[in-house]
Each structure stands twice: as C-alpha cells, then as structure tokens.
Chain A
Amino acid sequence: DAGVIQSPRHEVTEMGQEVTLRCKPISGHDYLFWYRQTMMRGLELLIYFNNNVPIDDSGMPEDRFSAKMPNASFSTLKIQPSEPRDSAVYFCASKHYHEQYFGPGTRLTVT
C-alpha cells in the first residue's frame, strides 16, 4: 500500500486566494483526520470523518475552512479566502482500529 497520499506537498499562495488540499486515505480505513501543525500551536485536530461522515469539526478555526469526504478514497480541505496566519503544515491521517497513519503533509505558505 502506498500509504496516505496528500497533494500538493507544497503550496504558496497569496492572501485572499482559495486553497484546496487533497488527501487519499489508505484503502479500507474507516476514519480520516485533518490536522494542522505550527510552531506556536503544535498539532491541532481540525476535523475527522467516520465512514465519510463528519463526526467532529470543532477544531475548524473559522468558517473560511471547510472539509469534505465525497467517498471513501478522497477528502479535501478548503480554505477560502486564505490568510497569512493559515500558513502551516496540514496533515491528513487515516485510521483502522487503533492506529492512525499520517500522510507526508502539505506545507502551506500564504503571503
């Protein structure tokens, strides 16, 4: 298995632009998580899905952030409009039973 796949690996955009991050979980995993990591705030859980259904989005910082999981093999995290404070590394992880498997992350820079 290729593991959790995230794209793009790096994204540089200007303030106000829409950003879409993509994730392909490991096949057969029934949970999917989106995290954000910054030096100041550490690792934050943004939202997670179970069987494609959003379970807990309490970590989503603002209405500018939205996430979807249209099917078991694909999820997106969208930021619209983006702001410089959104600069971070965004991780997707999928889970089966007790173990979460993380993707390599997307490094987002908003200028």
Chain B
Amino acid sequence: AQSVTQLGSHVSVSEGALVLLRCNYSSSVPPYLFWYVQYPNQGLQLLLKYTTGATLVKGINGFEAEFKKSETSFHLTKPSAHMSDAAEYFCAVSEEASGNTGKLIFGQGTTLQVKP
C-alpha cells in the first residue's frame, strides 16, 4: 500500500529565506506525486506534479520539487519565502502507476509560517 510522510507538521521561516518542506513516500509501483496548497478557509490548490520525465518540476508561485527515487522523496522548495506563502501544504501520491484510477493518498500536511 502506498503512503506519504511529511516531516514536520509546522515549519517557520523568515520572509526571504529558503522554504523546504519534506515529503517521503512509499510505493510499490512508480509513483505520481503531487503538492497541494491550502489557504485558510479555501480548498486545496495544485502547486505542482510529477508524473514521468524530468525529475525537477516547477509549479506555481515559484515553487519546485525534485523527485528522488533512491531516497523516495519529493521535497518542496522555494528560494525566497513571501508572506503570502503562509498556508498548509499537502504532499500526495497516486495509488496506481498510471495515475488514472484517481485515488490520491495525502500526507498529514505541513503548516508554513512566514515571519516578517
């Protein structure tokens, strides 16, 4: 069975500092991996995804993530944090290799706090 572990339920950075949110997954088949962001009182919004091909994927708002098969990781980074990045971030893996059965397994989420 697939699973996702997000290391650190809360991460705090200063404005302008590097953002690093960690995600490790477990999967018996090649995974499709996703990062979602949730702003207060809103639904989840897709930040970026890895399906096949280039292992470094770029998303919206300056975020990127790198798929590392050997480390079973898909960490999310952003070079310089902005106050508007404060939100909850979810890592997710799709259940089947094709990604087309639809079912996502979500991590528990990481709350990012950005200090002025």
Contact = CB atoms under 8 A, between A and B. Distances in A.
Contact of B43 (A4, A45, A48, A55): A4
Contact of A43 (B41, B51, B90, B102): B90
Nearest to B99: A98
The DSSP consensus for interface residues of chain B is loop
Interface band, chain B: 20 to 34
Interface stretch (A14-22, A78-86, A101-109): A101-109
Interface residues of A, number: 22
Contact of A95 (B36, B45, B102, B108): B102
Contacts of A101: 46
Interface of A: 4, 31, 33, 42-43, 45, 48, 50, 55-56, 91, 93, 95, 97-105
Interface of B: 32, 36, 41-46, 49, 51, 90, 94, 99-104, 106, 108-109
14 contacts: A31-B102, A42-B106, A42-B108, A43-B109, A45-B104, A48-B103, A93-B44, A98-B99, A99-B46, A99-B49, A102-B44, A102-B45, A104-B43, A105-B41
